[in-house]
Amino acid sequence: MHCNLAASIICGNPLNLQKDLAALKKGKIDYIHFDVMDGVFVPRYGLFPEYLKAIRSKTNIPIEVHMMVQNPEPYIQDFVDAGATIITPHIEPLMHPHRTVMKIKNAGVQAGLALNPGTSLSTLDYVLEDLDLLMLMAINPGIVGHKLIPGTMKKIADARKRIDETGKDIFLEIDGGVTPDSGHKMVAAGANMLVCGTGTIFQPPAQLDKKIQSFRKTLL
């Protein structure tokens, strides 16, 4: 099974964005992972629509927007207009997850939902079939460099079973704790999309295209 790799652009060099984007394309990255953080849902701030628009103006690589925010709905259209391919808010703060997913789809892009490590898969019971992507956090979101949380592999396997039961083609993405040691285990458990950050392709010295190729080999 092919595993898609998504480059966490917040780990790149904002002063060298075009060079990073060129290297990502040369390395045949599948997606750009774009972190949005509001300082409320997670304890730091992240990226914004204008930054996404600048990225989109320089590349045609699909972009997944990971919305780690308390209230994503008012900003969906802003990120669609800026060039998002997939928008993935967290389920935890949503009062109406199905409504939010439909709002994303009606805006003309694909819709995902993200789950924190302690959030049960049962929260997806009546919305999973509507998703294009399910993201499982393998660390607590918003804090860089945390280690993989135990129990992640079982959760991936359980999520893969649920997705397969729907008969739908839904990405199972893992964000956080992805390393050459853990990545192949995540794929073996059922993941088919991994977010690559400081533990893989952005680990200095960052020759991104070579790091992407090297990391792909660890997944075989």
- Does the residue 212 lie in any domain? no
Its pTM surpasses 0.85: yes
For residue 79, the enclosing domain spans: 4-202
Confidence of residue 17 (pLDDT cuts 50, 70, 90): very high
Among residues 184, 82, 108, 97, which one has the least CA distance to residue 134? Answer: 97
- Does the residue 137 lie in any domain? yes
pLDDT of residue 100: 98
| Catalytic residue flag (residue 158) | no
- Does the residue 220 lie in any domain? no
Count of domains for the chain:
1
Lowest mean pLDDT among 69-73, 82-86, 146-150: 146-150
CATH number for the domain harbouring residue 141: 3.20.20.70
Which residues, listed in sequence order, are joined to residue 58 by a DSSP beta bridge?
A: none
Confidence of residue 2 (pLDDT cuts 50, 70, 90): confident
Q: Are the C-beta atoms of 80 and 108 separated by less than 8 Å?
A: yes
- Does the residue 132 lie in any domain? yes
- Does the residue 209 lie in any domain? no
pLDDT of residue 68: 97
- Does the residue 219 lie in any domain? no
| Catalytic residue flag (residue 35) | yes
- Three-state SS string over the chain comes to CCCEEEEEHHHCCHHHHHHHHHHHHHCCCCEEEEEEEECCCCCCECCCHHHHHHHHCCCCCCEEEEEECCCCHHHHHHHHHHCCCEEEEECCCCCCHHHHHHHHHHCCCEEEEEECCCCCHHHHCCCHHHCCEEEEECCCCCCCCCCCCCCHHHHHHHHHHHHHHHCCCCEEEEECCCCHHHHHHHHHHCCCEEEECCCCCCCCCCCHHHHHHHHHHHCC
Position 108 pLDDT exceeds 80: yes
Angle (CA) 29-193-37 rounded to 5° is 85
pLDDT of residue 18: 94
Pick the catalytic residue from 35, 38, 130, 132: 35
